[in-house]
């Protein structure tokens, strides 16, 4: 008898207690005592869901999906009943039980927020690891013969409507506060960046300003020195200009004095002209002091006339 499989089926032949995989759409002659089984090769989808209360007392609804395919039909045929047509249902039930068990144990120890935020990470990875440990039973040395294409905790939501609305409002407030804080932080970063830019500009300009101030100070000092020299020069010029006048004044003053001396001398001479004076006793002392004065006047008169 000829056994045939469809293009989307594996053909597995049982001969002398051994399973032989004839591949997709395979064919085989069956001899007496031999049998064959067809194993689906298409992707299979399993959905699971449950309700679990979290560690902070919030009841959550969990929904997930598993997509798998039979990759090693001989292993799958050894474990599940594909002859009676219940093999796929057996796989579905067992996979769903494993997913729910792993998810329930983990969610019960997590908070509501952690479950919602960790749906694609913590929860999904934990369930995936649990499934792989079962379908690839290394300790038993056997395999279910399937590969996981997709495993995901698709939804986590709050069952109680009022509680959900309150929590959503709280989340919205938190988002708004976070957005406002982010805006403030952004403004602060912009302001700090502007200050840093201004500080950098001032630091860059500081040497130039310092040099400019130094040059200005030197210029002012030079101007002051030049003004001092101008004042001193003006004083010297005034002194030079007034010196001849001063000398002339001194000369005239001396001439006037000499002329006065000459006049006095002439007057004295007139007084004594033709006079014969005899001095005796104490009066001789007085005349002794007058005589030098008269002699001095006469000498200066002669010098002036000469």
User: What are the chain's domains?
Assistant: 1-40 (no CATH), 43-159 (3.30.479.30)
Q: Which residues are CB-neighbours of 159 under 8 A, at least 6 positions away? A: 51, 59, 60, 61
Q: Which residues are CB-neighbours of 202 under 8 A, at least 6 positions away? A: none
Q: Which residues are CB-neighbours of 53 under 8 A, at least 6 positions away? A: 59, 60, 108
- Answer whether 0.75 is exceeded by the pTM: no
Could you report the per-residue pLDDT of 81-127, keeping only the tens digit for each? 998 889 999 999 999 999 999 999 999 999 998 999 999 999 999 99
- Surface-to-core class of residue 126, CB atoms within 10 Å of its CB (0-12 exposed, 13-18 middle, 19+ buried): middle
User: Band of the pLDDT at 195, cuts 50, 70, 90?
Assistant: confident
What's the CA gap between 229 and 224, in Å, rounded?
9
What is the mean pLDDT of the segment spanning 175-201? 83
User: Band of the pLDDT at 281, cuts 50, 70, 90?
Assistant: low
Rounded alpha-carbon distances, angstroms, from residue 299 to 105, 118, 265, 272 = 148, 137, 10, 17
What's the CA gap between 297 and 268, in Å, rounded?
9
Largest CA distance in the chain: 206
Token representation of residue 17: 């207690």
What is the side-by-side strand order in the sheet with 146-158? Answer: 44-53, 59-70, 146-158
Token representation of residue 274: 């033709």
**SS3 labels along 20-71:** EEEEECCEEECCCCCEEEEEECCCEEEEEEEEEECCCCCEEEEEEEEEEEEC
């Amino acid at each position: 008898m000829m056994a045939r499989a469809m293009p989307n089926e594996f053909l597995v032949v049982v001969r002398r207690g051994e399973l032989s995989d004839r591949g997709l759409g395979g064919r085989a002659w069956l001899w007496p005592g031999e049998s064959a089984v067809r194993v689906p090769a298409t992707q299979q989808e399993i959905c699971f869901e449950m309700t679990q209360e979290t560690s902070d007392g919030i009841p959550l609804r969990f929904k997930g999906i598993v997509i798998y395919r039979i990759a090693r039909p001989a292993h799958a045929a050894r474990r599940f009943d594909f002859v009676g047509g219940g093999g796929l249902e057996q796989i579905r039930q067992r996979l769903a039980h494993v997913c729910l068990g792993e998810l329930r144990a983990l969610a019960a120890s997590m908070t509501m927020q952690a479950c919602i935020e960790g749906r694609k990470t913590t929860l999904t990875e934990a369930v995936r690891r649990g499934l792989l440990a079962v379908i690839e039973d290394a300790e038993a040395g056997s395999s279910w013969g399937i590969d996981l294409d997709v495993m995901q905790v698709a939804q986590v939501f709050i069952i109680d409507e009022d509680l959900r609305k309150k929590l959503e409002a709280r989340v919205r407030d938190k988002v708004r506060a976070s957005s406002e804080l982010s805006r403030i932080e952004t403004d602060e970063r912009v302001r700090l960046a502007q200050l840093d830019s201004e500080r950098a500009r001032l630091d860059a300009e500081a040497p130039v300003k310092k040099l400019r101030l130094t040059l200005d100070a030197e210029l002012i000092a030079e101007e002051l020195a030049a003004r001092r020299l101008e004042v001193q020069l003006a004083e010297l010029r005034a002194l030079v200009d007034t010196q001849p006048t001063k000398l002339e004044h001194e000369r005239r003053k001396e001439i006037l004095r000499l002329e006065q001396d000459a006049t006095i001398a002439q007057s004295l001479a007139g007084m004594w002209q033709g006079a014969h004076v005899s001095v005796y006793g104490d009066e001789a002392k007085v005349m002794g002091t007058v005589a030098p004065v008269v002699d001095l006047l006469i000498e200066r008169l002669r010098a002036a006339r000469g």
